[in-house]
């Protein structure tokens, strides 16, 4: 996770913690943090803006249609 992010919420899951964080640029990001005993680093799962796209519609991320 980046140093310039504000933690919005944390949610424990069976294999670590899901962390919602807001980047200084305004994007909401979702990270998976493994437990402290794991050797793997935190992994970015989702990065996007506040507005969720309606189901079944394409969204644009950095110029690409997803």
**How many residues in the chain?**
66
Per-residue pLDDT reduced to its tens digit, 11-30: 999 999 999 998 887 888 89
Q: Encoding tokens for residue 36? A: 């402290």
Distance, in Å, from the CA atom of 56 to the CA atom of 32, rounded to the nearest integer, reads 25
pTM of the model: 0.62
Mean pLDDT of all residues in the chain?
Answer: 75
pLDDT of amino acid 2:
59
17-26, 30-39, 48-57: which has the minimum mean pLDDT? 48-57
pLDDT of amino acid 61:
46
Helices within the chain (DSSP H only): none
């Amino acid at each position: 996770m980046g140093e310039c992010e504000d933690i919005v919420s944390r949610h424990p899951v069976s294999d670590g913690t899901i962390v919602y964080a807001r980047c200084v640029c305004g994007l909401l990001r979702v990270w998976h943090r493994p437990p402290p005993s794991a050797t793997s680093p935190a992994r970015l799962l989702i990065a996007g803006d506040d507005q969720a796209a309606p189901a079944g519609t394409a969204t644009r991320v950095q110029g690409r249609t997803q």
